[in-house]
Amino acid sequence: MTKALVPPQLLNDLRSLLKQSRQQLQQNINTAMVHTYWQVGRLIVDQEQQGSERAAYGKQVLKQLSNVLTAEFGKGFDSSNLRNMRSFYLVFPKYDAVRHKLSWTHYRSLIRIENEQARDWYLSEAIGQNWSARALERQISSLYYDRLLSSQDKVPVEQEAQEKTAELAVNEKDFLRDPYILDFLNLPHQSLVESEVEQALIDNLQKFLLELGKGFAFVERQQRISTEDQDFYIDLVFYNFKLKCFLLIDLKIGKLNHQDVGQMDTYRRMYDQLKKEPNDNPTIGLILCSEKSEAVAKYSVLADGKQLFASKYLPYLPTEEELRKELERERHLLLGDE
């Protein structure tokens, strides 16, 4: 029998070294990111508002600042994130209070908590229990702090919390997929996040729409729309010059459900509020579902725009049948589905 050429101790030592190096790299990136965003918030408050928390701060100024920084440094400096940096500094005016073990995503959740005692408690628990950002968000949303205070028997509440947070534990892949880390490093999202099948289907759909010759212009992939406390990512965004409106496309690998339709309706309304110009028509949403047993395409429009949609929009849009056939054809080429 051939003996192993690699000594077990050497292999164990190398594994330990590489794991420690990766953890250190993650911590260094995280610390630099949190410190940078705290400093950005401090500069905005101190230099633009002369340190006054109550001073009027024009939205246009923040928007212009966002435009310049985004052009130079990437997506991480949109207006929503700049407001969060400002809030970060106002909530933690002393940097000594900032715990480096927590990520920017953690702090985005913490700064929304108005009760200072509750915020400090969540901060300590997130560090002590090693909660991921998703676990922290889950605990805040479920009012874990308030339920513990009001419960005479705290054991069942704590046991439930442990079970739920264990499902949302941190791992290295989560770190690499954190959109705020990608933004801070100015790295592309889709190359690290999308599966090969999703990537190929989206590539094909983008090409398919542009080749229709019906006025489509490509805008962006994985476009982020931000609210004060949440981010949404849209797979594909187009603008149609003949219809004078945006078209949002979301691809679902799996069966289409009512939640998908509701989510797209939310995307459209947010897009009309945040992106649409006064002369643009209402945004159209398109949900595409592709799985082995079926392919579905479903348009979504505002309820009061159905008549406009039927009479004006449809001649310039691919039909649901055309989209279904294109999805089936491309999936067959990719996976050889029968």
Which domains occur in the chain, in start order? 15-183 (no CATH), 194-335 (3.40.1350.10)
CA 128 – CA 173 distance, rounded (Å):
22
Q: What is the model's pLDDT at position 178?
A: 67
Q: Where are the beta strands (DSSP E) in the chain?
A: 216-226, 231-240, 245-252, 284-291, 294-300
- Dihedrals φ, ψ of 15, to 5°? -60, -45
- Average pLDDT, rounded, for the chain: 76
Q: What is the model's pLDDT at position 50?
A: 65
Contacts of 253 (CB under 8 A, 6+ apart): 195, 197, 198, 290, 291
Between 89 and 300, the higher pLDDT residue: 89
Q: Per the structure block, which two tokens stand in for 267?
A: 């995307």
- Is the pLDDT score of 208 beyond 70? yes
- Is the pLDDT score of 88 beyond 90? yes
| Reported confidence tier of residue 107, pLDDT bands at 50, 70, 90 | very high
- Is the pLDDT score of 337 beyond 60? no
Between 230 and 38, the higher pLDDT residue: 38
DSSP 314: G
Between 72 and 174, the higher pLDDT residue: 72
Q: Percent of the chain beyond pLDDT 90?
A: 6
Residue among 327, 241, 336 at smallest CA distance from 287: 327
Residue 50 gets the label, from left (phi > 0), alpha (psi -120 to 50) or beta, of: left
Q: What is the model's pLDDT at position 194?
A: 39
Contact 179, 233 (CB under 8 A): yes
Tens of pLDDT, residues 2-33: 566 778 888 888 888 988 887 788 788 888 98
Q: What is the model's pLDDT at position 216?
A: 85
Q: Per the structure block, which two tokens stand in for 256?
A: 């289409």
Q: What is the model's pLDDT at position 197?
A: 55
Q: What is the model's pLDDT at position 259?
A: 75
Tens of pLDDT, residues 110-152: 998 888 998 988 898 888 888 888 788 878 877 877 877 777 6
In 3-state terms, what secondary structure has residue 318? Answer: coil
| Average pLDDT, integer, range 185-212 | 64
DSSP 2: P
Distance of CA 175 to the CA centre of its chain: 13
| Average pLDDT, integer, range 46-64 | 66
Q: Per the structure block, which two tokens stand in for 110?
A: 């913490």
| Reported confidence tier of residue 165, pLDDT bands at 50, 70, 90 | low
| Average pLDDT, integer, range 306-312 | 52
Q: Percent of the chain beyond pLDDT 70?
A: 69
- Dihedrals φ, ψ of 84, to 5°? -65, -35
CA 303 – CA 301 distance, rounded (Å):
6
Q: What is the model's pLDDT at position 35?
A: 92
Contact 243, 209 (CB under 8 A): no
Helix axes 133-141, 116-128, angle to 10 degrees: 140
Tens of pLDDT, residues 260-287: 777 888 888 888 888 888 898 888 888 8
CA 234 – CA 146 distance, rounded (Å):
35
Contacts of 190 (CB under 8 A, 6+ apart): 199, 202, 221, 222
Q: What is the model's pLDDT at position 51?
A: 57
